[in-house]
Amino acid sequence: MELNRRTVIAGAAAAGIAATTLGGTAQAAAGHRPGKELFGRLADGTKVYRWSLQNGGIRMKVLSYGGVVQTLEVPDARGRHANVVAGFDGIDDYVAKSPYFGALIGRYGNRIGKGQFTLDGKSYQLSVNDGVNSLHGGAKGFDKRVWDVEPFTEGSDVGLRLYYTSVDGEMGYPGTLRSTVTYTLTRRGEWRVDYEATTDRATVVNLTSHVYWNLAGEGSGTIEDHELTIAAARYTPTDSGLIPTGELARVAGTPFDFRRAKPIGRDIRAGHEQQVLAKGYDHNWVLDKGVTARPEHIATLRDPRSGRTLRIATDQPGLQFYSGNFLDGTLTGTGGRTYRQGDALCLETQHFPDSPNHAAFPSTVLRPGQTYRTTTVHTFGA
């Protein structure tokens, strides 16, 4: 029997959650199939859709273009919702201007030095799009592809499965890579991201999500008062092109020590050589836990103004913390406000940058018959 609006609202009220209208259909904050609407068209006429889903007090909008998380609303300590991720209102800005706002990243998250690596004795030249280096999969990475999207409801969970096939040679990478990324909202207030991929030739893969966070609210100003904790005693210093040198340096006694919670702004202008190169923080932290069979808690972000917290758990060995150094006031977000330096930050779970060129780093090689699997869980609180 189809539920009418009164039944939906009553059910939501019983659960202590307000109902909202998504695409003209009233949906409670739990247990309802995601809604879909046309968001725009690419220059070649390809349709881009926006999916709306909610559960456990979280409201999210996701684009088929790049798997972009356009908005993500969570409550503060008073129960007031706000969008806490940076993004744009229209598809044209995502195509022409986006610094990877909210996007899925592949085939290889982060940088590969000079866009080159050797695998099984054969050298590969990748698309170069960051000076002489390859960044986030090249000039047209997974963030610029239109994904197939399938909504689902499973028990108390709701979510989306996103599919993309990267053909052999795309952006210079060997092998046809078939990727599935699953976004799940749980009734416990979690956003879970599960990545899977298979290949028909030996290749390298490192998938991640490039959400820009501001827990005080999108466009609300600096994140320098956010308190951050990262469970890592080491990080990977870089050269002037932000390519790891191969050293696993200790964070103790440096601005890179986030083993105890501290405001991001406390040491961001300390003048450390690595901060000068990156114009702030833009580094990979070597997580103490290493690669694990299951996601383990590795970072906590807290906004003292709103009381919102974000806890991140992953099975990956690294975390890229980027403090929004290159936001320059030229981009206008969904709330109509411009983004300036330090107005949002990224916490990208990953294998290390340039791993294919560092034998001592955890391997990112995927071979036929193997399945790449990794999970990151974001838990919100206030």
- 210 classed as catalytic: yes
Q: What are phi and psi of 217, to 5 degrees?
A: 125, 140
- 196 classed as catalytic: no
Q: Are 227 and 263 in contact (CB under 8 A)?
A: yes
Q: Are 171 and 139 in contact (CB under 8 A)?
A: yes
Q: Are 114 and 29 in contact (CB under 8 A)?
A: no
Residues in the chain: 382
| Given 210, 226, 283, 351, the catalytic residue | 210
Q: What are phi and psi of 69, to 5 degrees?
A: -85, 100
Question: DSSP assignment of 129-145, as one string?
Answer: -BTTBEETTSTT-GGGS
Single-letter amino acid code for the residue at 358: H
Closest CA to 205 of 373, 377, 378, 375: 373
| Given 73, 170, 227, 348, the catalytic residue | 348
Residue for token digits 């009734």?
Answer: 187
Q: Which two tokens stand for residue 107?
A: 């085939």
Q: What single DSSP character describes residue 331?
A: E
Q: Are 187 and 56 in contact (CB under 8 A)?
A: yes
Instruction: Report, as residue numbers or ranges, the catalytic residues.
Output: 210, 348
